Amino acid sequence: MHGRQVRLTTESELQAFEQRASDKGLYPYRSRQGEPQELRDEGEIEALFERLMKARLLEWLDLADERLQNTEVRCYLMGGNDDPPSVLDVLADAGRYRLVRNPEESVVQLDETCEMISCGWSNPTPWHTPRECSEEELERRIAQLMAQVKRPESAVLNLHVPPFQSGLDDAPELDASLRVQASLGQTRFKPVGSTAVRAAIERYQPLLGLHGHVHEAHATCKIGRTVCINPGSDYSEGILHGVLVTLNKGKLKGYQMVSG
């Protein structure tokens, strides 16, 4: 764990370790001696990860159904660019979960005034993740959704990747070998957001932009009249960042960054 060996001698210690690892977004898996190398040799590592990811997602859906029943809370859950389509099939089959909905590829009516569009795809990254595409394709995806929005000025754009050069998209600069670059002992940062997302916000001037993708960013900005927010991420430390936003009659009444 983090470069050091952890020795567990009892079942209770093992279960506690698995819980800590899960809380940090990892996928613990009990293997027999020699199995990890066999999985690598047979090209089965990715398939194993996808099975574990599906199981975790099903646990989250069960938790949402349990905690939100008998409430008026609606839960919208979508994937990001790192999520394989086969894992997101779990969301597509989430009909039995009455309280959870995948908002991608549709317009969601949040209240009598505000609508929301959602897109978990990103512009190209150095890691060639499952759900990334060209800026042109991303622009097309956003435009198709916005064509269905009745009031763009009251819309929420829930777009995984933040707008380019917004301060919400500053990530460590990498070289061709994916090594972090530094100057005078300090990590160099560069904007990695989407020009298509920025162009959409400048064009439609929605009420709110909700973004993620760049974990190092923990910031807000305004592009024209639009407030854009990226809470950032410290999930590897077991910390969940988010933002509480209050909307009322087509207006943004306020927002608060939260961690837990």
Domain spans in the chain, listed from the N-terminal domain onward:
103-259
Q: What pLDDT does residue 94 have?
A: 57
Q: E strands of 42-119, at which residues?
A: 75-76, 100-101, 107-109, 115-119
Q: What pLDDT does residue 98 have?
A: 67
Q: How far apart are CA 94 and CA 101, in angstroms?
A: 7
Q: What pLDDT does residue 201 have?
A: 98
Bridge partners (DSSP) listed for residue 238: none
Q: For the chain, which residues score pLDDT lower than 70?
A: 94-98
Could you report the per-residue pLDDT of 14-33, keeping only the tens digit for each?
A: 999 999 899 888 899 999 99
Nearest to 197 by CA among 162, 229, 231, 222: 162
> How do strand 208-210 and strand 156-159 relate by DSSP bridges?
parallel
pTM: 0.92
* Superfamily in which the 103-259 domain is placed by CATH: Metallo-dependent phosphatases (3.60.21.10)
Residue 131 sits at φ, ψ, to 5 deg, of -125, 65
